[in-house]
A = this chain, B = another copy of it.
Amino acid sequence: MPDTETRKPFRPGEEGEGGERTTRVYRQKDDYDRGMPYDPSAFPPFAVTVDLVVLTVRSHALCTLVVRRGEEPFQGRWALPGGFVRDDEDLGAAAARELAEETGLRAHDPSAPSPDNGAHLEQLATYGAPGRDPRMRVVSVAHLALAPDLPAPRPGGDANSVRWAPVEKLLDQAWATDPGSPDALAFDHAQILSDGVERARSKIEYSSLATAFCPPEFTVGELRRVYEAVWGVTLDPRNFHRKVTGTPGFLVPTGGTTTRQGGRPAQLFRAGGATLLNPPMLRPEV
Spell out A's residues near B (CB within 8 Å): 5-6, 9-12, 22-26, 29-30, 32-35, 40-48, 71-73, 84-91, 123, 125-131, 135-137, 139, 141, 278-279, 282, 285
* B contact residues around A11 at 8 Å (CB): 29
Q: List 5 A-B contacts (CB under 8 A).
A: A24-B136, A44-B48, A89-B130, A90-B129, A91-B129
Partner of A131, one of B22, B73, B285: B22
Taking A5-B33, A44-B48, A87-B130 as given, write out 15 further A-B residue pairs in contact, using a Cβ cutoff of 8 Å, ordered by the A residue number. Answer: A10-B43, A10-B44, A23-B44, A25-B136, A26-B135, A26-B136, A34-B72, A35-B72, A40-B41, A48-B48, A85-B128, A87-B137, A88-B130, A90-B130, A123-B126
Partner of A33, one of B9, B35, B88, B127: B9
- Chain B residue at smallest Cβ distance from A127: B91
Partner of A10, one of B29, B129, B130, B136: B29
From known contacts A33-B71, A35-B72, infer whether A44 and B87 are also in contact, taking CB-CB under 8 Å.
Answer: yes
Partner of A130, one of B5, B23, B279: B23
Q: How far is the CA of A179 from the CA of B24 in the complex (A)?
A: 22
For the complex of A and B, the 9 pairs showing the least CB-CB separation, nearest first, are A23-B137, A44-B87, A91-B128, A6-B33, A126-B126, A23-B136, A46-B48, A40-B45, A90-B129
* B contact residues around A42 at 8 Å (CB): 10, 12
- If over half of A's interface residues share one DSSP class (helix, strand or loop), that class is named, otherwise mixed; here it is loop
From known contacts A9-B30, A35-B72, infer whether A85 and B44 are also in contact, taking CB-CB under 8 Å.
Answer: yes
- Chain B residue at smallest Cβ distance from A35: B72
User: A141–B123 contact, CB under 8 A?
Assistant: no
Q: How far is the CA of A127 from the CA of B91 in the complex (A)?
A: 8
* B contact residues around A33 at 8 Å (CB): 5-6, 9, 71
* B contact residues around A126 at 8 Å (CB): 91, 123, 126, 141
Which of A10, A130, A278 has the most chain B CB within a 10 Å cutoff?
Answer: A130
User: A130–B44 contact, CB under 8 A?
Assistant: no
* B contact residues around A48 at 8 Å (CB): 44, 46, 48, 128, 139
Which of A10, A11, A45, A90 has the most chain B CB within a 10 Å cutoff?
Answer: A45
